[in-house]
Structure 1
């Protein structure tokens, strides 16, 4: 979401199923959650067994949740039989925290799938990361041209440029020279602004080319794209109930208690307070906070830039957008955060988003 190498403000999201906050990279959380609603994030040990994947045994008991003769919204009845406990993995993606929650999956299957997910994340980071000087994107920015790029690379570039066109440039992956200007302050602002313009990026199946002086950032869309690719991988392996968050969360199916996945968006003024909750099953939500990360050491410039003016975005404190995919939600929240709030609904409609689920103007 950030048009820079800075980390996205993923702390704005709290999964109401359970989301441990301690450092748990490459660990598993087996959590037979017996109650409904949010589980205390400050107490990940409650009802959980934690150990590295290579030493983890099968849980001693499986969760049994039976909902018999329970009237649901449409008058339907639900009966949940014996199921494996939820599995949560936490790690890193694109320089920020990532997490994955699977329901109804046996341990051996979960181990294998998480291994595939970790390898996929590593592969995609090798394409899109600005943190890594050896990534394909870093190489493109240095050399200005790539021959025979991988399909995933051109796929995301084409989606980024299509969304640039749909939003009339409110989303623009060519703002990276502006980000470097605000970080370093060594170039002429007028010259840097001339390097911005998504229309001049050439993407072909066998070649990607940038004009002199241009550089790309995909941080306003790549986290959502990785979320979608991980989701596609798990769907292809028969997983029907999951919450995938590689920087932008996307829910599929339902939680282990039969309820929809619920996400809470934090109040930008009081991060520990959840301002609103909403269901996310069957859709993705992305959040942009222009000053959630700062470009320069002095803290003067927020990390979301307005392509139209070249200036840091200052109209929103935070905005959250729902869409059918995390890729789309990611790009649209970036575009709206960089735009006048009057344009927000038109940008949402033009880009194919579903709703602005939360927003705070400056």
Structure 2
């Protein structure tokens, strides 16, 4: 997931269909995201609630915010607060722009005066690293850069010796996070927060809505979804998971209230035309796992769901089950390359 917004349109507050299609084309996005909200009839929302919806290009995707409230004015005001929160956080966690905190850390090997938001996200990443027994690792950026360089310039995978060499710079256990400073303990290390930042940003935006008095809302950031409450009538939001092989078809529809869902797929961002080498990297081998085509995670928060959607894509399902059991409320749906669906023990839908 790319955090920066090179195509952001200044001053644009709403998005009509023509603008939506223009941004979809510019960002290279399909009209069918990995996960989307199943629309219902207006009467299905709570009586007396006004629904306000806006879509804007953020974080390299399209972000839709839906707010339900008795006052349309209050709903719109809260929605602007949520978008404002996201716009505040994006440049703090972006690794592409040269003067962001993450970019300075990568360039210098240390960062002093760490913004509290960066400190918090790094803490979430550390916990996921421990929970997943090292599978979720934000320090794989040198491997991603190596693959990007070889495929863009030479059209092929890096040789094994190059991968082994760059793996010496990988290992989140070598990132020291103090109260006022973050420092790399190995030379040449770099991090990417792309596997967790979008979830954190959306989660913070939902928290902003809640602080502004909103009880029923949903944010969909390119298929990463966080729900606040239900639809105001006691009924959950209905979330459709995309079939990774038939992109116009639905794999499953799951109910969601006060929770989050995120999906990772090997078809999202890839280096080669055959999609054998993609943006998810096993930190042990330096290669892209090829066991699964898509993984969807249901979790209490989108920060957690976003990180787990990466982590559960890498090991065998039996290994993943061990750490999923240790995370209350987390469930997983895997789809393998033979189109077979496999579920964690508590995944109840089909």
| Partner residue, 1:284 | 260
Q: Over alpha carbons, which structure has the higher Rg?
A: 1
| Pick aligned residue for 1:360 from 301, 321, 335 | 335
Is 2:204 the partner of 1:196? no
Q: Which moved further from structure 2: 221-230 or 129-138?
A: 129-138
Provide the secondary structure at the position in 2 that maps to 1:250.
strand
Is 2:209 the partner of 1:234? yes
**Could you tell me how far apart the structure 1 residues matched to 2:37 and 2:195 are?**
22
**Could you tell me how far apart the structure 1 residues matched to 2:29 and 2:296 are?**
13
**Could you tell me how far apart the structure 2 residues matched to 1:351 and 1:215 are?**
28
| Pick aligned residue for 1:221 from 193, 196, 199 | 196
**Could you tell me how far apart the structure 2 residues matched to 1:327 and 1:96 are?**
17
1:102-152 Cα deviation digits (max 9, x unpaired): 112523223322322222212211111234333221221112111111111
Is 2:111 the partner of 1:146? yes
1:307-350 Cα deviation digits (max 9, x unpaired): 12110121110010111111111111100111222212113124
**Could you tell me how far apart the structure 2 residues matched to 1:178 and 1:202 are?**
20
Which consecutive unaligned segments of at least 5 residues does structure 2 have? Answer: 6-26, 338-350
| Pick aligned residue for 1:301 from 248, 273, 277 | 277
**Could you tell me how far apart the structure 2 residues matched to 1:304 and 1:344 are?**
16
| Partner residue, 1:156 | 121
Q: Which moved further from structure 2: 6-15 or 200-209?
A: 6-15
Q: Is the 8 A contact 2:226 2:302 kept in 1?
A: yes
Q: Is the 8 A contact 2:276 2:288 kept in 1?
A: no
CA spacing shift, 1:182–1:335, aligned 2, 3 Å: same
TM-score normalised to structure 2 length:
0.80
CA apart distance, 1:256: 4.7
Which consecutive unaligned segments of at least 5 residues does structure 1 have? Answer: 19-32, 37-64, 66-79
**Could you tell me how far apart the structure 2 residues matched to 1:353 and 1:83 are?**
29
| Pick aligned residue for 1:12 from 14, 31, 34 | 34
What pairs with 1:167-178 in structure 2 (closer than 5 Å)? 167-178=132-143
Q: CA RMSD in A?
A: 2.7
TM-score normalised to structure 1 length:
0.77
1:169-188 Cα deviation digits (max 9, x unpaired): 11000000010011003883
**Could you tell me how far apart the structure 2 residues matched to 1:144 and 1:204 are?**
14
CA apart distance, 1:353: 4.9
CA apart distance, 1:246: 3.1
| Pick aligned residue for 2:302 from 316, 321, 326 | 326
List, as ranges, runs of 4+ consecutive aligned residues in structure 1 with deviation greater than 3 Å.
Answer: 1-10, 33-36, 295-300, 350-353
CA spacing shift, 1:150–1:232, aligned 2, 3 Å: same
In terms of fraction of residues, the more helix-rich structure is 2
Provide the secondary structure at the position in 2 that maps to 1:179.
helix
Provide the secondary structure at the position in 2 that maps to 1:182.
helix
Provide the secondary structure at the position in 2 that maps to 1:360.
strand
CA spacing shift, 1:95–1:130, aligned 2, 3 Å: farther
Equivalent pairs, count = 304
